[in-house]
Amino acid sequence: MASNKDKHPRTAGSQEFWRQLWKIISPSHKQIKFLLVLIVVFRLIQLATPYILKLIIDKLSHFNPEQVIPLLLLIALLFLSEQSASLVSYFKDRKTFRILVEAEYYLPLRVQEKLVNLSLDYHEKENTGNKITKIERGIFRIVELLANMAFEVVPTLIQLAVTLVALAVLDWRIGLSFAFFSPLFIVITYKVNRELYPIRKNRFKQHEESSGKMGQSIININTVKSFSQEEREAKEYGGIKERVRNWEMSEWFKLLNWNLGRNLIIDLGRVTVLLLSAYLVWQGQVSIGSLVFAVTLSEKSYFSLYRLSRFYDKMEEGAEAVNRFVDIINEEPSIKNPEDGYKPKKIRGEIEFKGVDFSYEGLRNKDKFKALRQVNLQIDPSSVTALVGPSGGGKTTIAKIIYRHYDPQKGGIFLDGIDLRNYDLYALRRSIAIVPQEVEIFNLDVKQNIAYSKPDASWDEVREAARVANAEEFINNLPHGYKTLVGERGMKLSGGQRQRIGIARAVLANPSILIFDEATSNLDSYSEKLIQSSMEKIGQDRTMIIIAHRLSTIQKADKIIVVEEGGVVEQGSHQELARNGGGLYRKLLDLQKTGNVD
C-alpha cells in the first residue's frame, strides 16, 4: 500500500516541502524577511535604469540644443540609479552570506543533538554511513537552496512581476504576450520535475546505500583483509555505484529532452515581444525609446526565466536530499522522558519484571518474533545476580530494557517499586553503568575514555578507577601513559585492555546498578582473571548483574536466572540449580565440564 509520502511527493513545488524547510531554518526567519525587503528594493531600483535609458533615447530621437541640460540630468540620474543599486546589492549580499554561514553552523548542531537524543532502536536499524550521507548532503543542499533563493530565484520572480506590470503599462499587447509565454514555461518546468521525482528518489536511496557499503568496508577492514575479500567489496560497491550512474543518466537525458521544448517557448516569447514592439513603433503608437525599454526588459526577464528554470531543476534535484535530512530532524524518539519524572536521591537497586513481553519489531501477538515472553523475575538490592542461558535467549535484551533503551509492549519493570517509565530518563541512566562484551572506545586518549562517564572527574578519581579496574599497570606501560591516543574504536589496545578501560569508566560513574554483559567471554585466562578480580572489588554495596556464558565465572552469584527462548526457565543459587538434574543449568554445567561447549 502506498504511503502518504508516495501519494504526495515533497518536491520543491509542494507546500509541504517549503513548510518543512521553513521550520528547520527557524533561527534565520527574521534575517530572511529583512533580506526579502532588500531584494524588492534592489529590483525596483534596477527597473529605473532601463526606464531612464528609454527617456534618454527619446530625447536623442528629437534632439535640440535646449535639451542638453535635461539630457545631462538624466545621465546623472542613470549613474545615481546604478550606484544606488550597487549599494543596496552590497547590503543584500552581506545579509545573504550571514544567513548562509549561520545555517552551516546551526544545522549540524541541531542534527547532532537530534541524533544523540534518538532512541537506541533508531540507530540499530539505520546504517551509520547512510545517516552521515543524509546529513552531509542535506546540509549542503539546504545551504545551496538558500543561496539560489537569495541570489537567483526570489530576485527573478520579483523581476518577472515588475516586468509584467511595466510592459502592460507600456502597451497591453506586449504585456499580454509576456503573460502568455512566461506561465507556460513555468508550468512545463514544474511538470518535468514532477516526472523526474521518482528517479531522483531512487538515485538518492542508492547513493546512501553506496555510502553505507563503503563505511562498512572500512569499519570492518580487519575482517575484509583477513578473509581476502578486497575484490568482493570493490565489486559490490561498484555494482551499487553503477545503479546510481544509470539513474543519474536517465534523469539528465530526460531533462535535456524537455529543454528543447523550454528553449522553443523562450525564443517564441522573445521574438513576439520584438515583433510587437517593432510593429507599434512603425504604427507610431510607441517611441523608439519605448521599444528599447520593452526589448531590454523582456530580454532580461526571459534570460532570467531560463536561468530560473535551471535553478529550479537544481532545487528539485536537491529536494530529496533536503527531505531525507528533514526526516531525521522530525524523527521522534520511541523512548520518551516523562515530564516531571521521578529523580530519586538514592537508588537501592531492587529490580522486578512483571509479565514482560517484548519484541524488537513491536509485534505483540506473533509469539515467534518475541525476544521476551512473560518474563517474571526479581533482582535483590546490593546483590550479585547472574543471567545465563543459550545465545539469543534474551539475556542482553533484559539488560537493554533495564537501561530503558526499549520499553516492553506488555507488562512492567519496576525499580525500587516504581515503574521505570515514571523515572526521569537521565536520572535513571546515571544510576546504571554497563560493561558490554565489545566496549566502545573513542579515538581519544586513555584518560578521556575513562572519564567519558564523568567528564569533570579529577586526575585522582580517574587513576583510582583505573586501579580498581586493574588497568593502571598496562596504562603506565603505554608510550604516553594516560595521554596515549588509543585509535579509532581502540584499535591500538588489546581486547582485555579495552574491557578494563570499560570497567574503569563504569567504576568512575559510581552507579547503583552495574551490568556486565559477557565482559569476559572473548578474553584470555590472564585478562579474565584480572577482570574477575575487578568485578569482585566493585560489586560491593551495589546491585550487580552479570550476563555470562562461562558458568565458572558466576558460581559465587547470590542468584542465577536461567533464560531460554525469551523466558525464565530456572532461578536459584549455583548449588540449588546444580542439584536439579533435569534443569537447563545442570545440562549446561555438564556440557562445559566435558568441554563440549565453552
Q: Which residues contact 314 (CB under 8 A, 6 or more apart)?
A: 144, 148
- The cell numbers describing 344, all together, are 530519586
From the list 152, 161, 150, 151, the residue with the least C-alpha distance to 183 is: 161
Look at the pTM and tell me if it is higher than 0.85.
no
| Class of CATH domain 346-431+557-598 | alpha beta
- The cell numbers describing 148, all together, are 539560489
Per-residue burial over 171-196, b if 16 or more Cβ lie within 10 Å, else e, is: bebbbebbeebbeebbebbbebbeeb
- The cell numbers describing 78, all together, are 542613470
Q: Measured between alpha carbons, how far is 263 from 14 in angstroms, rounded to an integer? A: 25
Q: Measured between alpha carbons, how far is 208 from 138 in angstroms, rounded to an integer? A: 12
Give the DSSP letter string of 251-271. HHHHHHHHHHHHHHHHHHHHH
What pLDDT sits at residue 4? 44
Q: Are 420 and 413 in contact (CB under 8 A)?
A: yes
Question: Residue 489: left (phi > 0), alpha (psi -120 to 50), or beta?
Answer: left
What pLDDT sits at residue 414? 95
Q: Which residues contact 464 (CB under 8 A, 6 or more apart)?
A: none
What pLDDT sits at residue 521? 62
Per residue of the chain (598 residues), what is the pLDDT tens digit? 334 444 455 665 577 888 888 888 999 999 999 999 998 888 888 878 777 877 777 777 776 777 788 878 888 888 888 888 889 989 999 999 999 999 989 998 888 888 888 888 777 777 676 777 778 888 888 888 888 888 877 887 887 777 777 777 777 777 777 778 878 887 887 777 777 777 777 777 777 777 777 777 776 776 676 666 778 788 888 888 888 888 878 777 887 777 777 778 878 887 887 787 787 778 777 777 777 777 777 777 777 777 777 777 677 767 777 888 888 888 888 888 888 889 988 899 999 999 999 988 765 455 567 889 999 999 999 899 999 988 888 888 999 999 898 899 899 999 999 999 999 998 998 898 888 878 888 888 999 999 988 889 999 999 998 888 888 888 899 898 899 888 777 788 888 888 888 888 988 888 899 998 877 665 566 666 766 777 777 767 789 999 887 787 788 888 999 998 889 999 998 888 888 877 888 888 888 776 555 4
| Class of CATH domain 13-330 | mainly alpha
What pLDDT sits at residue 165? 78
How crowded is residue 162: how many other Cβ atoms within 10 Å of its Cβ? 17
Give the DSSP letter string of 282-338. HTTSS-HHHHHHHHHHHHHHHHHHHHHHHHHHHHHHHHHHHHHHHHHHH---SSPPP
Q: Which residues contact 391 (CB under 8 A, 6 or more apart)?
A: 549
Q: Sketch the domain layout of the chain as residue ranges.
A: 13-330, 346-431+557-598
From the list 287, 330, 302, 353, the residue with the least C-alpha distance to 571 is: 353
Which DSSP state fits 393? S
First to last CA, the chain: 48
